Amino acid sequence: MDIIVRENYEEMSEYAAGVIGRFVRNKPYCVLGLATGSTPIGTYRRLIKMHREGLDFSKVVAFNLDEYIGVGINLDVPYEVDQSYARFMHEELFSHINVKKENIHIPDGLTKDPAGFCSWYEEEIKRAGGIDLQLVGIGGDGHWGFNEPGSSLASRTSIQALSPQTLSDNYESFYKKAGVERDKMPHFAITMGIGTILDSKNILMIASGVNKADVVAKCIEGPVTSQITSSAIQLYAGGVTVALDKAAASKLQNLQHYIHIERLKEEYGMG
């Protein structure tokens, strides 16, 4: 596990975008797993800038982690009103790069058969050859996607009920500014499972801010437990990079060791 610590959110985002950009350049047909939430926005803005400077996404295939059940993209209403993750991805990334519409996969929050859709989504990932690089953030309770505390670490794409903390976090981040009453926001979501994420060939986890410091430490240095579903990263056998700003890294017990390892790899050209 490569743990990369940068001075602030902007530098962390720059680093994460660089990781994704290298994958796209080295493998134009790569399959990217993408995430929503406030943390990836800086990464996506840098990817947009890289695209304007020549980075080609025309052959990239994208799969998003999750979507609320009961919502879907509606480009006819303002961004603040349409709170779907599909809309988020359209506004924050897809409409600014040359990824092909047919290569974008986002869970369908309006499907009439959520369970059937989950099975189909898993098969689509397999048909694409698997995910080359999965971008994930980390929830306030340590979840990946919407795999809330207690979710199986072997889970596949499924329907999940959202925890009180996730509902509160997402209300403050997205729904409050839209004037949506707290009890009117979606309480269920379709999400890639932890097992689905762990099938990815590479994982890039990003986190920012002191409010994530405790849960980042539990994820990386605590026990592997279904109560912190992101702690499954410790079981991952592929290439994994964790990019943090100093605030998010501040509770790591072995922080100086991680910084030392990064410097050694840079010095000896092993990064």
Radius of gyration of the chain (CA): 18
Options 51, 143, 199, 245, the catalytic residue: 143
Indicate which residue of 51, 66, 108, 245 is catalytic: 66
Q: Strand 61-64 vs strand 104-105: parallel, antiparallel, or unpaired?
A: parallel
Phi, psi of 205 (to 5 degrees): -105, 135
Q: What is the DSSP letter of 162?
A: P
CA dihedral 184, 41, 220, 224 (to 10 degrees): 40
From the centroid of its chain, how far is CA 120? 20
- Cα 174 to the center of its chain, rounded Å: 16
* 141 labelled catalytic: yes
DSSP 8-state symbol, 200? S
Which of these is catalytic: 92, 148, 169, 199?
A: 148
The structure tokens listed for 127 are 């048909």
CA distance 179 to 15: 35
Tracing tokens 């990079």 back to the chain, one arrives at: 241
Q: Which of 82, 108, 122, 141 is catalytic?
A: 141
Residue with tokens 């050209």: 269
The sheet carrying 188-191 orders its strands as 66-68, 188-191, 158-161
Annotation says 143 is catalytic:
yes
Residue 167 contacts residue 186 (beta carbons within 8 Å): no
Residues annotated as catalytic are 66, 141, 143, 148
